[in-house]
Amino acid sequence: MDIFTLNDSAAKTILQYAAASEEAGRLHPEIISLIEKERWFKLYLPEEYGGIDIDLPSILRLLESIAMTDGSTGWTVTLCSGASWFAGFLEENLRHQIFDRAHTCVTGSGATSGTAVVIPEGYLINGSWKYSSGALHATHFTANCSLQNPDGSEIHDDQGKAMVRSFIFDRAEVNTSPTWSYMGMVATGSHGFQVNNLIVPENRSFQIHGALKMPTNAGNYPFLQLAETTLAVNFSGMALHFLQVAEPDVLNSGNLKRFSNHHAALVRETFAKQKQLLADARQNFFHTADKSWNDLHHDTLNESTLRDVSHVSRTLAHVSRRVTDVLYPYCGLDAAKSTTVLNRVWRDIHTASQHSLLTFES
C-alpha cells in the first residue's frame, strides 16, 4: 500500500465501522484486523519484528491520513505504534518474546503514577494509571514508576534528582478499569490500568533517553518531538475530515439559501480563509519536520531545529482546532447531532485537544 495515504479499501473499512466502533467503545474487530494486516501497530519496527520499512516523514503522513478517516482509529494507531518504539530500548530476547506475534499491541501511560521498589529479584511494582489508549486491544502495557529503596525512600541520580524508569507488563499482569467516559475519542477505549505487588525482572525496565539497543524506523529522533509531531498530525487529519464533511453540505446552493446574499458570501469567504490557514500550517509543519529528519541523518540536527519542530507541531494542533471552531456555527443542527460524522469529528478533536503535551501553543 502507498505509505503516504490510505488505499481505498483501507479507508472504506475504517469508514464502514467507525460508527460501530464508537457505539462499542472500542475499535471494531474489522478495523483491528486491518491494522494488523497493514502492521500499523508496528510502524517503528523493522521487518524482522513484523514492522514496515518506513521513515518518520512517511509515518507522519500515514498517521494524518488515518486520522482524516477516523479520529479514534488514528489516535489508537498513533499511541499504540508509538509504544512499540520502546522496543528499541529492550533486550533482544524480550523484544522477540513480545513482538514476534502479528497481534502484538502495546499501549501505556506517560504519567509517573507508580512505584518500583528495588529488590533482589528486580523490582516490586505498584501503581495506577488513568488513561491508556487502546487498552481493550493491548497485549502489553508500558508505564513510568519512581524508583524506591526497600524502606520506601526515593532513589536519586548523581544530580540529586528522583529517578524514574519505564516498565513493560504483560496484559495478564495488569487490571484495567473503565475510566474512559468522555464525549469524544470514544472508540479509543482509553481506559486506566493498575499493577499490584508485581515482581518483574530487571530486563522489564528501560529508559527512553538511553541508548537504543536496536535501530527503529524513527532512529534516534528525540522522543519529545516524536510525540509532538505524531500527535499534531492527528489534529490536522481530524480538521481535514471536518472540512471534507462540512464543506459540501454547508456551501451547497440549497443550504446557502437560508442566508442573505451578504451572509452567504461571508460563509464562503470564511471557509476559504480557514482552509488556507490549515493548508499553510500543514505546509510549515511538514517542511520543518522533513528538514529535521534530513538533518538527523546528516548529523546536523540541532536544538534550534528541534524548537522549530515543537513550535510547528503546537501551531498545527491549535490551528486545526480553531478551524473547526470557526466553521462549526455554520454547519447547522447536524453538527450538534450526536450520531452524525460531523459531530463525531468535532467531539474527537476537542477531546484530543485536552492532551497536555500540546495544550500551549508556545
CATH of the domain at 26: 1.10.540.10
Decide if 27 is inside a domain: yes
Q: What is the pTM of this model?
A: 0.95
Q: Could you report the per-residue pLDDT of 144-163, keeping only the tens digit for each?
A: 999 999 999 999 999 999 99
Q: Quick one: pLDDT at residue 206?
A: 94
Of 154, 174, 206, which marks where a domain is finished?
206
pLDDT class for 215, splitting at 50, 70, 90? confident
Q: Quick one: pLDDT at residue 289?
A: 98
| Range with the poorest average pLDDT among 82-86, 108-112, 177-181, 277-281 | 82-86
Q: Quick one: pLDDT at residue 178?
A: 94
267 and 342 together in one domain = yes
250 and 354 together in one domain = yes
Decide if 50 is inside a domain: yes
232 and 331 together in one domain = yes
153 and 261 together in one domain = no
Decide if 342 is inside a domain: yes
Half-sphere exposure of 230 (CA within 13 A, CB side): 26
Q: Quick one: pLDDT at residue 6?
A: 82
Per the listing, cell 524506523 goes with: 217
Sequence-distant (≥ 6) Cβ neighbours of residue 137 within 8 angstroms: 26, 27, 32, 76, 80, 105, 107, 189
CA dist 100 and 103 (Å) reads 9
168 and 248 together in one domain = no
229 and 198 together in one domain = no
Q: Residue range 84-113: average pLDDT?
A: 94
Q: Residue range 226-244: average pLDDT?
A: 98
Decide if 102 is inside a domain: no
Q: Is 347 helix (H, G, I), strand (E, B) or coil?
A: helix
286 within 8 A of 60, measured Cβ to Cβ: yes
Q: Could you report the per-residue pLDDT of 316-346, keeping only the tens digit for each?
A: 999 999 999 999 999 999 899 999 999 999 9
Which domain, by its residues, includes 289? 223-358
Q: Quick one: pLDDT at residue 4?
A: 54
134 and 78 together in one domain = no
CA dist 292 and 276 (Å) reads 24
Fill in the DSSP letter of residue 99.
H
Decide if 349 is inside a domain: yes
Of 37, 58, 89, which marks where a domain is finished?
89
3-state DSSP helix/strand/coil percent for the chain, to nearest 5?
55, 15, 30
CATH number at residue 318: 1.20.140.10
Decide if 288 is inside a domain: yes
CA dist 252 and 231 (Å) reads 33
Number of domains into which the chain is organized: 3
126 within 8 A of 115, measured Cβ to Cβ: yes
196 and 227 together in one domain = no
Decide if 1 is inside a domain: no
Average pLDDT of every residue of the chain: 95
321 and 251 together in one domain = yes
CA dist 219 and 240 (Å) reads 29
Q: Is 341 helix (H, G, I), strand (E, B) or coil?
A: helix
Decide if 139 is inside a domain: yes
Fill in the DSSP letter of residue 29.
H
User: Does the pLDDT value for residue 2 go beyond 70?
Assistant: no
60 and 12 together in one domain = yes
User: Residue 114, by phi and psi: left (phi above 0), alpha (psi -120 to 50) or beta?
Assistant: beta
CATH number at residue 156: 2.40.110.10
Reference 77, options 100, 95, 111, 54; nearest CA is 54
Of 171, 206, 241, which marks where a domain is finished?
206
Per the listing, cell 450520531 goes with: 339
Q: Could you report the per-residue pLDDT of 23-60, keeping only the tens digit for each?
A: 999 999 999 999 999 999 999 998 889 998 899 999 99
**Main-chain phi, psi angles of 140, to 5 degrees:** -145, 155
CA dist 261 and 241 (Å) reads 27
29 and 131 together in one domain = no
69 and 150 together in one domain = no
- The strand pairing partners of 107, in sequence order, are 141
What CA–CA distances, in Å, run from 37 to 1, 25, 51, 132?
11, 22, 11, 23
* Angle in degrees, 0-180, between the axes of helices 261-297 and 223-250, rounded to the nearest 10: 160
